[in-house]
Structure 1
Amino acid sequence: MSDLDILEEAMNEVAGGKRIAYLGPGVSALSGGTAPTTPEALCAKIEAEVRAPRRASGNMWSVAQYVESRKFRATLNDIVQRAFADSGAGANPIYDWIARVKPPMVVDVWYDDGLLDAMKPGNWGLVQGVSRNGEWIDIFTRTYDSAGTEIDAPDPAWETLVYKPHGRAAKGSSFLLSDSDYVEVLTEIDIQRPIPEEVQARRTGRPFLFVGCRFDDQMLRTFARQIVKRSSTGHIAVIEGPLTRMEQRFMEELGITRLDLPVSALSEALTVPEG
């Protein structure tokens, strides 16, 4: 089978509830607009407003930590939220497709609301990671129904669960970005405590399809590794161009089949069932 054939089959499995889509910032880029669509672009947005020391410059997590430490968390929140606000984003074929086929779960690891905007009110809900900065309770995530009302826990009866482990950059929401945001999460993630039980239940028996993601940073690899833990074998990743040495090792470790294709190839591969 060609890479395109494998991709089309994998997308059909997502639509049929047999595979979980894991969407990165490269998918968000298909929406157009001015919002950052890579960690490097978001880092540049932050550094355009707060000059970071040379040792941190270019690393999104370290720059965010510098801003939080020197200018307070409210400054970091404001910069990031403005970066994602009023971006002029348009329709996104992958988000629209996910909203139509309503898979049991989709993981969205970027900070924008593009996928949520594509979803219509109905039998679905959101679980998102939250920063524990300023929190006085033992919390890793918050849960919302399709109307945006916070609720106690995901509903097992939801047709679709949208899981945003790094949170959202929207006003009034929360996100993980600075090194300190991740300290307690990474301490607990190996025993899966930050990952909601309903997310763990829905990944069981299903492999993942990674789209628009890179794994060239340890943070990204750690989260992906723990999110797919105890799922299934046969993962597929759509990543165009050369891999870094650590990405290649990560692919081998998780048994991921890499398809050397652009994210835009999905638009041509989509087979949307009617009804």
Structure 2
Amino acid sequence: MTPHDHLEQAMNEVASGRRIAYLGPEVAALSDTAAPTTPQALSALLERQVRAPRRAAGNLWAVAQYIESRKFRATLNKLVEDAFDTPAAGSNPVHDWLARVGPPMIVDTWYDDGLLRAFAGKPHGLVQGVSRNGEWIDIFTRAYDADGNQVPEASPEWETLIYKPHGMARKGSSFLMSDSDYVEVLTEIDIQRPIPEDVTRRRTGRPFLFLGCRFEDQMLRTFARQIAKRSAPGHVMVIHGPLTRMEEKFVKEMNALHIDLPLEAVAEALTVPEG
């Protein structure tokens, strides 16, 4: 099979509910949005607002921690929310396709709300990671129904569960970004406590299709590893261009098929000829 054949097969499995889509920030770039679509771009935007020390430059998590420590959390929240508060981006072929086929679960790891906008009016629910900054309760996530109402937990009745483990950068929401946000999550994630029960149920028996993700950063690898834990074998990772040494090691560790194609190939595969 060619790389395009493998991609088409994996996408068909997502559409039929036999595979879970795991979306990285590069998927958001298909919307032609003005919002940042990589951790590096978001870090650069924050650094233009608040000068961070040289040792933190280019590292989103460290820059966010510096801003939170020196300028308070409210400043970080406003800067990040403003970065993603852009006019509605153009149609996103991946988001629209997922909303059309309505798979049992989608993992969306970027901070934008594009996937939720695509699902507007369609049966779904949301579980998102939340920062513990300012919280007085033992909490890792919050759940919301299709109308945006907070509910105690995800419902098995939801046709599609949208899981945003890093949260969402829009007013009234919450997100994980600073080093301190991740301390307790990473301490507990190996025993799966931050991962909602319905996420673990829906991943059972299903491998993942990773789209628009890079795994140079240890924290991103840890989240992907633990979210996919105890799922089915046969993961597929669409990553274009040369892999870093740690990415190569991660692909082997996950026993995943690496498809070296640009994300635009996914969008092209979703184009239905007229007539």
Name the TM-score class by shorter chain.
over 0.9
| Mapping of residues 1-275 of structure 1, within 5 Å | 1-270=1-270
Q: Distance in 1 between matches of 2:53 and 2:189?
A: 30
AA partner of residue 164 (structure 1): K
AA partner of residue 10 (structure 1): A
CA contact (8 A) 1:44 1:58 kept: yes
The verdict on how the C-alpha distance between 1:201 and 1:27 changes in structure 2, with shifts beyond 3 A counting, is same
Moved more, 85-94 or 123-132: 85-94
Aligned-residue offset at 1:268: 2.2
Secondary structure of the equivalent of 2:54? coil
Q: Distance in 2 between matches of 1:186 and 1:265?
A: 34
Q: What are the ranges of 5 or more consecutive residues in structure 2 without an aligned counterpart?
A: none
CA contact (8 A) 1:105 1:163 kept: yes
Q: Distance in 2 between matches of 1:99 and 1:152?
A: 24
CA contact (8 A) 1:11 1:270 kept: no
Identity value in percent: 69
Report the TM-score, using the length of structure 2 for normalisation.
0.97
Q: What are the ranges of 5 or more consecutive residues in structure 1 without an aligned counterpart?
A: none
CA contact (8 A) 1:32 1:90 kept: yes
Deviations 1:30-80 (A, max 9, x none): 001210000000000110000000111110000000000000000000000
Ranges of 4+ aligned residues in structure 1 off by more than 4 Å: none
Secondary structure of the equivalent of 1:55? helix
Aligned-residue offset at 1:121: 2.4
Q: Distance in 1 between matches of 2:33 and 2:228?
A: 31
Q: Distance in 2 between matches of 1:177 and 1:153?
A: 23
Aligned-residue offset at 1:267: 1.7
Secondary structure of the equivalent of 1:209? strand
Secondary structure of the equivalent of 2:55? coil
Aligned-residue offset at 1:89: 1.2
Q: Distance in 2 between matches of 1:121 and 1:165?
A: 23
Aligned-residue offset at 1:271: 8.0
Deviations 1:193-241 (A, max 9, x none): 0000000000000000000000000010000000000001000011000
Q: Distance in 2 between matches of 1:246 and 1:123?
A: 38
CA contact (8 A) 1:22 1:107 kept: yes
Provide the aligned length of Structure 1 versus Structure 2.
Answer: 272
Q: Distance in 2 between matches of 1:128 and 1:117?
A: 15
Deviations 1:86-144 (A, max 9, x none): 24511000000000000000000000000000003243100000000000000000000
CA contact (8 A) 1:143 1:152 kept: yes
AA partner of residue 269 (structure 2): A
Report the TM-score, using the length of structure 1 for normalisation.
0.97
Q: Distance in 2 between matches of 1:56 and 1:224?
A: 24
AA partner of residue 12 (structure 2): N
CA contact (8 A) 1:8 1:270 kept: no
Q: Distance in 1 between matches of 2:122 and 2:58?
A: 40
Secondary structure of the equivalent of 2:193? coil
Q: CA RMSD in A?
A: 1.0
Aligned-residue offset at 1:269: 1.9
